[in-house]
Amino acid sequence: MSDKVSWPLPDSGPMESPLAAESRLTAALDSWRRWSPAPASKPVIAKRISGGKTNHSWLLETDCGPAVLRLNCADGEKLGIDRQREHNILLAVVAAGIAPTLWYNDPAAGFMVSRYIDGRVWSEEDFERPSSRQRLSALINCYSGLSVALPAFDYLAHLDHYHQQLQGNGHTIPAELVTALQCWRSPIADWQKNSWRPQLTHHDLTPANIIENDTGIVIIDWEYAAMGCAELDRLAVAGNSKQSPVVSALLQLMNDYWLLVRQKIVADTACL
């Protein structure tokens, strides 16, 4: 477990059958005339981008410049991902210059195209550097103040969604995890009710999701973002030493349940 506040746990992307994934990739590339900016000719795949926790992505060569095509995880809703919510959030953070420019997004079809950001991906060393933490904290303050017309994120409902899927599919849930959820349910409910007001929260603010170049810092992978407790993102920068016991327990539960769902329920057969 990382000593940074982050969820879900890093992992390789969920997989689907080669035929299904190839069909979706072809359909996504064939949509190029609807992109904005619209290339003059069909984009060409330059390479597969490795390292995704949830989705599969490709670097594209286009006459409008390089772009990234993301095929969404086919089982995203099982992981607690709401693609329409993500789309609404992306519109806000792209307009604010915090995320890569969106060229096309079709939540129903399961793919997204965005401008490729050429820059340096942060490392854990950046999180340890006071000047870097200060700049990231300023960016958190910026996006947490954005107005997005979405309901407040329900952390307990999110955990219950994971738990009920595992239970409903007959998977064994470790007794200590069940006990932890029961033990912390009431404190988490009180925390949700009394401790914060809904603000835009990334929920997966790890070094891998931060890119820096000469123009500044850009944050990617907003699929777990919601109108939640922005303090969780600030704690991702500050570290575990500033966590309250309730927040520490909540993040541990989200990590552990996400990993179980990822391992036991989300499709993992074959990929392109």
Q: What is the pLDDT of residues 18-60, one digit of tens each?
A: 677 788 899 999 999 999 999 999 999 999 998 777 899 999 9
Tell me the whole-structure pTM to 2 decimals: 0.89
Q: Positive or negative, the Cα torsion across 78, 4, 223, 183?
A: positive
DSSP 152: B
Radius of gyration of the chain, Cα coordinates, nearest whole angstrom: 19
Q: In b/e form, how buried is each residue of 161-197, taking b as 16+ CB within 10 angstroms?
A: bbbebbeeeeeebeeebeebbeebeeebeebbeeeee
State how far the Cα of 71 lies from the Cα of 41, in Å rounded to an integer: 21
| Bridge partners, residue 32, by sequence | none
At 175 the three-state DSSP class reads helix
DSSP 99: S
Residue 71: enclosing H or E segment and its boundaries? strand 67-71
Give the up-direction half-sphere exposure of residue 50: CA atoms within 13 A in the CB hemisphere.
0
If one counts every other C-beta atom within 10 angstroms of the C-beta of residue 130, the result is: 7
Give the up-direction half-sphere exposure of residue 115: CA atoms within 13 A in the CB hemisphere.
19
pLDDT tens digits, 177-236? 999 999 999 999 999 998 899 999 999 999 999 999 999 999 999 999 999 999 999 988
State how far the Cα of 70 lies from the Cα of 210, in Å rounded to an integer: 17
Q: What tokens were used for 3? A: 């000593």
Cα 6–Cα 9–Cα 11 angle in degrees, nearest 5:
140
pLDDT tens digits, 56-96? 999 999 999 999 999 998 889 999 999 999 999 999 999 99
Q: 227 CB contacts (<8 Å, ≥6 apart)?
A: 148, 150, 151, 152, 153, 198, 199, 200, 201
Length of the chain measured in residues: 272
- pLDDT grade, residue 13 (50/70/90)? very low
